Amino acid sequence: MAHSEASPMEGSNRILEEYHINEVVGFALPHPLEELPPAFEGWIRIAKSLPELIDNGQLREEVDQLPTLSIDELKGHRLQRLAHLALGCITMAYVWNQRRDDDVKEVLPRNIAVPYRQLSDKLGLPPILSYADCVLANWKKKDPNGNMDVLFTFPGGDCGRGFFLVSLLVEIAASSAIQAVPTVCSAVQHQDQKALEKAFEAIAESLNNARTYFQRMQNFVDPNQFFNVLRIYLSGWKNNPKLPNGLLYEGVSDTPEMFAGGSAGQSSIFQCLDILLGIKHSSGKGSPAEFLQEMREYMPPAHRNFLRSLESGPSVREFVMSRGNEDVRNAYNNCVQGLVSLRKFHLEIVRTYIVKPSSNQQHGGENRGTGGTNLMEFLKSVMKATENAIL
Ligand code: HEM
Ligand SMILES: Brc1ccc(-c2csc3nccn23)cc1
């Protein structure tokens, strides 16, 4: 690990800041901006009006009329994240438009493809809408008492707002677990059983709290709107029969390129806890481990590096198994159980929001998730691997 990068083993919150992890919102972007400089008003205007423009058939025409803008004026991480999010939403709307299989765009025009790729390269993010865009940076405080709202959404009524905000609330609730990660690493390094037990207790409590937010999904998101509308706009162009060669980014490359659709496999919280607790997912070609590893490439680089540095440290699980006292082992198991409960509840949500609505479809339900995975198999495997980690 590069000497300039602090390792979580040094056990200070300074480390988390260095990896762009915020003590209140965790991996989410703190205080996202909502406005771009005046020259970019067209991007914001269109991104803010996707449902209306798509429904009245004007979206693609509006996008085609945008000027090709230089991104030089977009200084700073937050401005670039807002622009990347706006262009990501516009790109999904432009490609999928009114969700007709015979009306999918295979070429993204240069006036958005060129700045979109430049911003993606600057941020180290993929040129497709990702979890880091749509969940982590797509929010604002609506009023002084902390109610939140999304910046952009898609057709499907309140479905997108609910899906993105509930995911964000789970991320924020689980962020206190991430705050305990340097303490766990330091306690293992110093073989401090009491400190380790306390840090595990904080993680377990955080996961139980996060689960209560998960339950809000049913109140805000309609399963049929999710399955038949929103899910289409989050689909990507890797192994997608609707775009078998991928998407051509005009003015950027001569051949079409493939990028996976949005997935919460791109959530750093869950991958971070899997690493910390030593939860190993099944590996091999087309395996959950391979999919989750690939999804790291869609995360902000700082978060990807945090996961790497965590992976390079001593095994917490080994320490608990070989030297942990009974209290430490129980506290460790409560953390694993917290992740199992979240993943079991998530499986119920997926049955309600994907499996059931897809069985109502005439073609017997394509068993694919937003990330294009054979989802139930993948999710059950991930949940079982978590359960198997209980000592
Ligand atoms: C309507 C609600 C939801 C649906 C239909 C849904 C669906 C899915 C599907 C199909 C996958 C498989 C991978 C993929 O294709 O992306 C997945 C993965 C995942 N989802 Fe969701 N999801 C929902 C809500 C949430 C929420 C609120 C969270 C919390 C942040 C979440 C966290 C995850 C995680 C972490 C994974 C990766 C697998 C894992 O680590 O367990 N999901 N989800
Ligand atoms: Br883009 C985008 C990508 C992923 C998500 C998301 C939030 S929770 C969840 N489970 C599966 C996907 N997913 C939302 C927007």
pLDDT tens, 366-382?
Answer: 555 554 458 899 999 99
The answer, yes or no, to whether residue 68 has pLDDT greater than 80, is yes
DSSP annotation of 46 = H
pLDDT of 146: 84
Q: What is the mean pLDDT of residues 349-372?
A: 72
Percent of the chain exceeding pLDDT 70 equals 94
Cβ 97 under 6 angstroms from ligand 1: no
The ligand minimizing its distance to the Cα of 169 is 1
Per residue in 304-331, pLDDT tens?
999 999 999 999 999 999 999 999 999 9
Cβ atoms of 199 and 187 closer than 8 Å: yes
The answer, yes or no, to whether residue 197 has pLDDT greater than 60, is yes
For ligand 1, atom 21: residue with the closest CA: 264
The answer, yes or no, to whether residue 78 has pLDDT greater than 50, is yes
Report how far apart, in Å, the C-alpha atoms of 364 and of each of 192, 354, 358, 360 are.
Answer: 55, 12, 7, 7
The answer to whether the annotation marks 190 as part of a ligand binding site is: no
Annotate 95-138 with DSSP letters as a single string.
HHTT--GGG---EE-HHHHHHHHHHHHHHT--SS--HHHHTTSS
* R_g (Cα) of the chain, nearest Å: 21
Mean model confidence pLDDT for the chain: 93
**Looking at the predicted complex, does its ipTM rise above 0.95?**
yes
Cβ 193 under 6 angstroms from ligand 1: no
Cβ 378 under 6 angstroms from ligand 1: yes
Which H or E run includes 149?
A: strand 148-149
For ligand 2, atom 4: residue with the closest CA: 263
How many angstroms is it from 255 CA to the middle of ligand 1?
31
Cβ atoms of 371 and 260 closer than 8 Å: yes
For ligand 2, atom 10: residue with the closest CA: 264
pLDDT of 362: 65
CB contact set of 175 (below 8 Å; sequence gap of 6+): 21, 22, 23, 24, 25, 26, 27, 28, 206, 269
Per-residue confidence at 203, pLDDT binned at 50, 70, 90? very high
Q: What is the mean pLDDT of residues 241-267?
A: 97
Cβ atoms of 91 and 105 closer than 8 Å: no
pTM: 0.94
Of ligand 1's listed atoms, the one at least distance from the Cα of 213 is 27
For ligand 1, atom 28: residue with the closest CA: 167
Cβ atoms of 92 and 234 closer than 8 Å: yes
